[in-house]
Amino acid sequence: MLARVLSLSALIAIWFVAAAVAHSRLLPGPLAVAGGLLADIRSGELPFELGCTLARVVAAFAIALVLGSIIGFLMGRSNRFNRYADPWLIILINLPALVTIIFAYMWIGLNETAAILAVALNKLPNMAVVMREGARALDPRLDDMASAFRLPVMTRIRHVLVPQLAPYLAAGARSGLSIIWKIVLVVELIGRPNGVGFVMGTAFSLFDMTKLLSYAISFIVIMLVIEHLVVQPLEQHAFRWRKQRA
C-alpha cells in the first residue's frame, strides 16, 4: 500500500515538474487538470458522459457474458456442436475489433444497437472459449452424485454446476471487462454523439489536452473503483471456501 502511494506520488511529482518545464498547452500540470476535472464534474458534463459509457459497457458486457457462456458451455458439452461452431469462433476471434465496429455501423446503422452489438461481438468468442474449457473440466463424479441423490434441477445448477464454472466465469469476466472498456471508447469515437470516447475525439480535434487528461484520469479511477468495490469482493465471496485450504 505504502509502495503504491509513493509510486503514485512520484508520478504526479514528475508530471508537475515536466509541465512546469515544458510550459506548453500540450502538457498541462496536475493543478490545471484537477481544475478542469472539477469544473466538468460541477457542470454535470463528466458524470453524464461517464454514465453513457458505463451503460454501454454494462449492456455489452452482459450480452457477451450470457451469450458467450451459453455458447461456450454447449460447445464444451457437445462435440458435435463444437465441430460446427468452432470455425465461427476462430473467425470471430481473429477479426480485428475495428472491423467488427465498422461492419456493425455500416450494416445496422449509426445507432446504439450497432454500438453495443459490435462491442459484445468482440468479447463473446473469448468468453465462449473460456467457458468451453470450464464445461470440459466439469467433474462427472459430482454429476453422478447429483443424479444418485436425485437433486432437483435448480439445486444442481446452483450448487453443483455454477460453482464448478465460477472460476472460468470470473476469469472470463475479468479479462472481458478490461477489453470492453477499451473497445467502447473506440465505438464512441467512431459513431456515437456522447460518452467518454466521443468527448476524447472532440478534445483531440480541439487539441484540448486538459480535457483529454481529466477524462482519462476519471476513467481510470472508475475502473479501479469497480475492480475494488465490485469485482474483488464478489470473487472473494464466491471463492471463500478456497482460502481455507491448508
Q: Write a three-state SS string for the chain.
A: CHHHHHHHHHHHHHHHHHHHHHCCCCCCCHHHHHHHHHHHHHHCHHHHHHHHHHHHHHHHHHHHHHHHHHHHHHHHHCHHHHHHHHHHHHHHHHCCHHHHHHHHHHHHCCCHHHHHHHHHHHHHHHHHHHHHHHHHCCCHHHHHHHHHCCCCHHHHHHHHHHHHHHHHHHHHHHHHHHHHHHHHHHHHHHHCCCCHHHHHHHHHHCCCHHHHHHHHHHHHHHHHHHHHHHHHHHHHHHCHHHHCCC
**At its nearest, how many Å lie between another protein and the CB of residue 239?**
8
Closer of 27 and 142 to another protein (Cβ): 142
Closer of 163 and 201 to another protein (Cβ): 163
Which among 182, 214, 223 is positioned nearest to 43, based on CA atoms? 214
**At its nearest, how many Å lie between another protein and the CB of residue 149?**
4
Closer of 30 and 167 to another protein (Cβ): 167
**At its nearest, how many Å lie between another protein and the CB of residue 140?**
10
**At its nearest, how many Å lie between another protein and the CB of residue 225?**
28
23 binds another protein per the rule CB under 8 A: no
Which among 181, 197, 180, 186 is positioned nearest to 49, based on CA atoms? 197
Query: What CA–CA distance (Å, rounded) separates 183 from 192?
Result: 13
Residue with cell 486538459: 210
27 binds another protein per the rule CB under 8 A: no
Closer of 107 and 149 to another protein (Cβ): 149
102 binds another protein per the rule CB under 8 A: no
Among 23-31, 39-47, 125-133, 237-245, the segment contacting another protein (CB under 8 A)? 237-245
**At its nearest, how many Å lie between another protein and the CB of residue 198?**
43
237 binds another protein per the rule CB under 8 A: no
246 binds another protein per the rule CB under 8 A: yes
**At its nearest, how many Å lie between another protein and the CB of residue 83?**
19
**At its nearest, how many Å lie between another protein and the CB of residue 218?**
37
Touching another protein, residues 132-161 (CB under 8 A) = 141-142, 144-145, 147-151, 155, 159-160
Closer of 4 and 242 to another protein (Cβ): 242
Which residues of this chain interact with another protein, rule CB under 8 A?
A: 141-142, 144-145, 147-151, 155, 159-160, 163, 241-242, 244-246
